Structure 1
Amino acid sequence: MVREFKFKGYSPEQLQTLSIEALIPLLNARQRRSLDKRVGTYMSDAKRKLREDIKMAREKKLKGELKTHVRDMIILPDMIGLNIKVHNGKEFALVNVRPEMTGHYLGEYAITNRRVQHGAPGVGASRSSLYVPLK
């Protein structure tokens, strides 16, 4: 039998009915502090626009896909089920928001670095490459 996910005792459906004020005590300290200040510094213009776009996507009024550069947005229950493309510095990485992601940041799921695969060294890479003939 598959175990149902619960966030601090609440099912995803119950979480979506909670207001932000009721959700704040359930989050970790860092997220609580950020959301407590949401009226001031936390809710920047980019985050406000993203919240409006999320609301439009929920109502199926958004044309196209939901893209953002806002990596420090805390995932709230109203984002569950959406596909959000988050910029990782080079491209937009697709993030499928699941209930387990509640309280984390969007940037945690769009990794910014990749494994480096080095090629062969080029001419001038070392002192010995001076003596290698160029075809």
Structure 2
Amino acid sequence: MSSDYRTGRDGEFTYRGHTLDELQEMSVEEVAELLPARQRRTITRGLGSEHRKLLEKARQRDAEATASEPIRTHLRDMPVLPEFVGKTFAVYNGQSFERVEVEPEMIGHYLGEFQLTRTSVEHGQAGIGATRSSKFVPLK
């Protein structure tokens, strides 16, 4: 299985033949042509108003010097764009906001893919009354 991103000989990140600097200079529509089909369709059909607000907030964060505070969002279905690289998002997982630091390898995925909504369950030992057979406790 081949991946869409590679690290060149000099250690520089590339996504489908474009360096990160080239990707960041492109418009959203130009980047959409490089993304996988589902993300491309999301962008070409038009981002929703909440998605556009998040994109503007990320662009404003670039201009400001307060990059330490993460951008809070419920939008797990927002495609990761090259503009987001290096920024920190607080993505809602259904219970709390968890930090996601965007790296170049995340381009073309969704924000929600990096914050799981389900945790693994570890059951403890069954107690008295847990099953029908546990009603009958021997006296000795």
TM above 0.5, one fold? yes
Equivalent residue of 1:56, what SS?
helix
Aligned to 1:131: 136
Aligned to 1:54: 58
Aligned to 2:116: 111
Equivalent residue of 1:73, what SS?
coil
Q: How does 1:1-135 map to 2 (within 5 A)?
A: 3-38=11-46, 43-60=47-64, 64-132=69-137
User: Percent identity over the alignment?
Assistant: 41
Aligned residues: 129
Q: Distance in 2 between matches of 1:59 and 1:130?
A: 67
After superposing the two structures, state which structure 1 stretch, 94-103 or 119-128, moved more. 119-128
Q: Indicate the structure with greater strand content.
A: 2
Q: Distance in 1 between matches of 2:57 and 2:128?
A: 50
Contact kept? 1:53, 1:62, Cα under 8 Å: no
Q: Deviations over 1:43-97 (max 9, x none)?
A: 2232122112212211126694311110000011111100111111122221110
Equivalent residue of 1:26, what SS?
coil
After superposing the two structures, state which structure 1 stretch, 102-111 or 54-63, moved more. 54-63
| TM superposition score normalised by structure 1 | 0.85
Q: Indicate the structure with greater helix content.
A: 1
Contact kept? 1:67, 1:92, Cα under 8 Å: yes
State the shift of 1:27 in Å. Answer: 1.0
| TM superposition score normalised by structure 2 | 0.82
Structure 1 alignment gaps of length 5 or more: none
Structure 2 alignment gaps of length 5 or more: 1-8
State the shift of 1:2 in Å. Answer: 5.9
RMSD of equivalent CA atoms: 2.0
Task: Give the partner amino acid of 1:71.
Answer: R
